[in-house]
């Protein structure tokens, strides 16, 4: 017999399912149902913090639900397991600037470098270092991390440098892949060596790109 209207949702043995009041189960709706963007933002922020502090190995759906102020059963309606939430979180973290057809190559490189520096901010750097440490135990998640964050930016930068070569801004003999790795490597090392592991400022980013561009141009002289 169905419960009277207004009765709280019950689980097995007639127990009331905690944390599902006030429409919370609908906030993180499953496929085909409306979602509450503000709730998703809280969940992604909580998942990001969880990854920064615990990495893949100790990532906990229960802890994410607690941090986000969402019931765990409600969380599982949207993400059936922790890997699904981790992958969605990585996807959110991996957003890169949209290509600008009318922008100069230099301007687009500056936008990519600025995004790389954002990914070197404290929480993001902590996530990356923890995920690298967890790679041997979670190779499939680390592969997704490489594809969504590390490789994606590298490919964008490589295409831009190739465009610079094609347009004559860089020498034809430029080793594009080496150049892309070198630029990102400089940013990473500057971040690691800085007090508090802070990434280069906007002014420092421009100086790095100036030196990088000049070095590549002189290599052909």
Q: Is the domain of 177 the same as that of 111?
A: yes
Three-class secondary structure of residue 35 per DSSP: strand
Which domain, by its residues, includes 175? 97-218
**Residue 160 within a domain:** yes
Q: Are residues 123 and 85 in the same domain?
A: no
Out of 92, 120, 148, a domain closes at 92
The pLDDT value recorded for residue 208 is 96
Distance CA 179, CA 166 (A): 15
Q: What is the DSSP letter of 18?
A: T
Query: Looking up tokens 């998942």, which residue turns up?
Result: 47
Asked if the structure places residue 171 within a domain, the reply is yes
Name the CA dihedral angle for 42, 47, 53, 56, rounded to a multiple of 10 degrees: 180
Report d(CA 100, CA 2) in Å as an integer.
57
Residue 194 forms part of a structural domain: yes
- Looking at the structure, do residues 198 and 110 belong to the same domain, yes or no? yes
Q: Count of domains in the chain?
A: 2
pLDDT of residue 15: 39
Tell me, yes or no, whether 45 and 118 share the same domain.
Answer: no
Rounded-to-integer distance, Cα 51 and Cα 45, Å: 10
Distance from C-alpha of 74 to C-alpha of 61, rounded to nearest angstrom: 11
Burial 128-166 (b: 16+ CB within 10 A, else e): bebbeebbeebeebbebbbebbbeebbebbbbbbbbbbe
Of the residues 72, 92, 112, the one at which a domain ends = 92
Is residue 161 within 8 Å of 170, Cβ to Cβ? yes
Asked if residue 125 lies in contact with residue 81, where contact means CB atoms within 8 angstroms, the answer is no
Residue 67 falls inside a structural domain: yes
Q: Indicate whether 107 belongs to any domain.
A: yes
What pLDDT score was predicted for residue 11? 45
pLDDT tens-digit profile, the chain (221 residues): 544 544 444 444 443 333 333 444 445 555 544 467 788 999 999 999 999 899 888 999 999 999 999 999 999 999 999 999 998 998 888 788 888 888 899 999 999 999 999 988 888 888 888 888 888 998 988 888 888 777 888 888 999 999 999 999 999 999 999 999 999 999 999 998 988 889 999 999 999 999 999 999 887 66
Answer for the pair 3, 10: CB distance below 8 angstroms, yes or no.
yes
Domain match, 76 and 105 both: no
Same domain, 44 and 132: no
Same domain, 199 and 174: yes
175: Cβ–Cβ under 8 A, 6 or more apart, which residues? Answer: none
Do 116 and 86 lie in one domain? The reply is: no
Please report, for the domain that includes residue 34, its CATH number: 1.10.10.60
Same domain, 74 and 101: no
106 shares a domain with 86: no
Q: Looking at the structure, do residues 144 and 117 belong to the same domain, yes or no? A: yes
Q: Is 7 a domain residue? A: no
**CATH code assigned at 108:** 1.10.357.10
- Contact between residue 180 and residue 157 where contact means Cβ atoms under 8 Å apart: yes
Q: Is 9 part of a structural domain of the chain?
A: no
112 and 208 co-located in one domain? yes
Give dist(CA 116, CA 97) in Å, integer. 10
Does some domain include residue 1?
A: no
């Amino acid at each position: 017999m169905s419960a009277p209207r207004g009765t709280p949702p019950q689980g097995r043995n007639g127990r009331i399912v905690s944390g599902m009041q006030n429409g919370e189960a609908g906030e993180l709706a499953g496929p085909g149902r409306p979602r509450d963007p503000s709730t998703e933002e809280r969940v992604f922020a909580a998942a990001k913090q969880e990854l920064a502090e615990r990495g893949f190995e100790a990532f906990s759906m229960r802890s994410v639900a607690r941090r986000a102020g969402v019931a765990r059963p409600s969380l599982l309606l949207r993400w059936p397991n922790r890997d699904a939430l981790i992958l969605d979180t990585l996807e959110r973290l991996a957003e890169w600037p949209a290509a600008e057809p009318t922008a100069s190559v230099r301007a687009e490189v500056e936008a990519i470098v600025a995004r790389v520096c954002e990914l070197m901010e404290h929480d993001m750097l902590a996530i990356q270092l923890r995920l690298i440490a967890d790679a041997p135990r979670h190779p499939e998640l680390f592969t997704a991390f490489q594809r969504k964050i590390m490789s994606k930016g590298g490919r964008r930068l490589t295409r831009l440098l190739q465009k610079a070569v094609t347009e004559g801004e860089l020498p034809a003999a430029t080793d594009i892949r080496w150049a892309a790795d070198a630029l990102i490597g400089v940013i990473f090392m500057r971040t690691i060596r800085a007090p508090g592991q802070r990434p280069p400022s906007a002014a420092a980013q421009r100086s790095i790109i100036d030196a990088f561009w000049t070095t590549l141009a002189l290599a052909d002289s």
